Chain A
Amino acid sequence: MPRGLWTTTVGSFPKPPHLERARNQFARGEISAERLNELEREATIEVIRSQEEIGLDILVDGELYRGDMTTFFAERMDGFQISNPVRSYGNRYYRKPVATGPVRRTDPWTVDWWKFAQSQTSKPVKGMLTGPYTMMDWSFNEHYPSREALAMDLAEAIREEAIALVEAGAKFVQVDEPAISVRPEELKLAVRALGRAVEGVKAKTITHICYGDFDVIYPALLDLPVDMIDLEMANSRYDLLDRFRQHRFTKEIGYGVLDVHSHRIETKEEVKQGILRGLEILKPEQMYIDPDCGLKTRTVEEAKEKLAVMVAAVREVRKERGITA
């Protein structure tokens, strides 16, 4: 009987409103770091419980203790300062890392959080990092002579963290590279930097990238030196499958079936159809079913409902096709 169609998520979960309030209170100096940490741990336990109840196979810690996906890491490194807010759209702002010296990892960034999350469940919890190319592309660079030099130093630092996660027991390490798809001319640099970041990492390695100009970067994307590439499939109405027909997708795939930008809860049938379309050209043992991207922009309830639909759809497909987890 074939195995496959394991279920997981891309990384972030929505922060519950009380935690958002607490983060704001902490920023204003109204509560202590210890109190915020306590609330983050409670919320992380809740996210683990929730994933278990929904029936996911591979869990995440939900990243409830993180803000921006680059700034979180930069704040914990030598060589970075954090800028004043920069606008991303409308009234949304974020603080960008500024490389002002050689960037170095001096202490673990996520290992304690991973250990804490893993201690709450018998299911595997993924280690979640941001990749060197994305960290470079989303930072200001006041120190390095080139984008490449910054990316490669970041790769060294991220590799140290990835190895530390594996030493702590992580079986899956995901190194996200959402920026890869927007500068196709730098794909070779991204491949080299990510390659260094996961070199010698004895775990299943994954990278998540967001939808970009696939006409240009596919099939070269398959050169990314990881076991699994996680892609937004639903958001592009599964049209990537046409490209996979022209050039076989040779790696494992994180197969996104939930639109994380929409409040609408998908129906079980549409998720099922998306998976069945994938099975026309992909093997079940290649496929890990998940949302298109992190769920942090949804409400807690929306995230739960979407994931419950996803798991129900996977179970039906498994049953109909005789696939086991």
Chain B
Amino acid sequence: MKIETTLSGSFPKLPLEPGAPNVRVVRNRMDQGKATDRDLVEATRETTRRIIALQESAGVDIPVDGQVAWDDEQTYFARGVQGFEIAGLIRYLDSNTYYRQPEIAGPLSWTRPVTVEDFRTAQGMAHRPLKAVLPGPYSLYRFSKDRHYRSPEEAARAIGEVLAREAKALEEAGAAWIHFEEPWLGRAGASDASLVRAALEPLFRGRKAKTVLHVPFRAPAAVFDAVRDLTWSVLGLDLVEAPDAWSLISKVPERRTVALGLIDARNTRLEDPSDVAKAVGRARTMRSDLAWQLCPTASLEYLPVDRAAMKVSRLTEAARLASGNGG
């Protein structure tokens, strides 16, 4: 059985080749008044084209657009939703990266698509269906500061509902895959179960696209019962930083897909594809009723672009080996 490959979230924006369109350079030039918004749009488009081409040429089955216009994993979406305000920079979990904290200043309301135009543009550059990437609602709630709602559940549900509306708009634009990045699920304790349900329940109702719930960095063990029965299509697990996530594979509902995060997105050390293929084999021996994807543990943007590109090659090579091994 073929093991499909995909990426999780954003991809480094800098070019591998000197002189290629470079959003960093254009943004610096804009700060100096030497480049225009149009220059940035053009550089963003060319960078997206390059990121998609890199994945397609490596043989990634379900590519992503790399989220080239996103400053971090939350703000780009939150900024487009009525009721959110964007506040100061704070550290992103245990990484040495940062994000601007969304603040819920009023009732959250989805008034227009936020990511659909980007998706359409990127899909037009691709030769296979792209996976749209959104923040997960539980994580977006935990990354935000709520100054409006009366209870955490109310706020989390409101975030789930606006993300569900965005997902619907993406489906209407043709998205066959929608990925929700949920790092906070791995940090949730058992007492957070009702909050997790409140955030996630609105998300999967009536979805036509295949949905991915991806949990980087830690295993969502404490709240797994709360998410188990939701109708997601794919559960993404980080099996490098969170080896305890292996134990969750036995609890996945029948005939779902598990995306095995076996390529370390937070370390430059390159994996041996045959070791990764063996780990895929281990998963297969655990459950014969599941389908499998292979992916990095998290967004590859934690890495410099050269290493990220090499990791993509290792990913697809490992999947080829695993597909061969699996028959």
Contacts and interface: CB of A to CB of B under 8 A. Distances in A.
Contact of A86 (B89, B91, B99, B303): B303
B304 A83 contact: yes
B304 A91 contact: no
Contact of B98 (A88, A137, A140): A88
A90 B71 contact: yes
A183 B93 CA distance: 9
Contact of B268 (A91, A137, A140): A140
Contacts of B71: 89-91
A188 to B, nearest CB: 16
A138 interface: yes
Contact of A88 (B14, B27, B97, B306): B97
Interface of A: 83-93, 96, 98, 137-138, 140-142, 179, 182-183, 210, 261
B34 interface: no
Contacts of B307: 83-84
Contact of B267 (A87, A91, A142): A142
B14 A84 contact: yes
A89 B27 contact: no
Interface in B4-19: 12-14
B305 A84 contact: yes
A270 B116 CA distance: 47
A101 to B, nearest CB: 13
Contacts of A87: 12-13, 97, 301
A141 B268 CA distance: 7
Contacts, number: 63
Given A141-B269, A142-B268, A182-B91, A89 B14 contact: no
A92 B72 CA distance: 11
B247 interface: no
Given A85-B304, A88-B97, A93-B24, A261 B89 contact: yes
A86 B13 CA distance: 9
B89 A89 contact: yes
22 contacts: A83-B303, A83-B307, A84-B304, A84-B306, A86-B12, A86-B303, A86-B304, A87-B13, A88-B97, A90-B71, A90-B72, A91-B23, A91-B27, A91-B28, A96-B96, A96-B304, A140-B267, A141-B267, A142-B267, A142-B268, A182-B91, A210-B91
Given A83-B303, A140-B268, 16 more contacts: A83-B307, A86-B302, A87-B12, A87-B13, A90-B71, A91-B27, A93-B24, A137-B96, A138-B96, A141-B269, A142-B267, A142-B269, A182-B91, A182-B93, A183-B94, A261-B89
A91 B24 contact: yes
A101 B134 CA distance: 38
Nearest to B16: A84
B206 interface: no
B327 interface: no
Contacts of B306: 84
A86 B99 CA distance: 15
Interface string B70-111: 011000000000000000110101101111100000000000
A138 B305 CA distance: 17
Contacts of B91: 182, 210
A89 B267 contact: no
Contacts of A137: 94, 96
A148 to B, nearest CB: 15
A15 B305 CA distance: 29
A261 to B, nearest CB: 6
Interface in B216-233: none
A89 B93 contact: no
Nearest to B267: A140
Given A83-B307, A84-B14, A84-B305, A89 B269 contact: no
A88 B28 contact: no
Contacts of A138: 96
A205 to B, nearest CB: 24
A68 to B, nearest CB: 10
Contacts of B13: 87
Contacts of A84: 14, 304-307
Nearest to A83: B304
A89 B99 CA distance: 6
Contacts of B99: 89
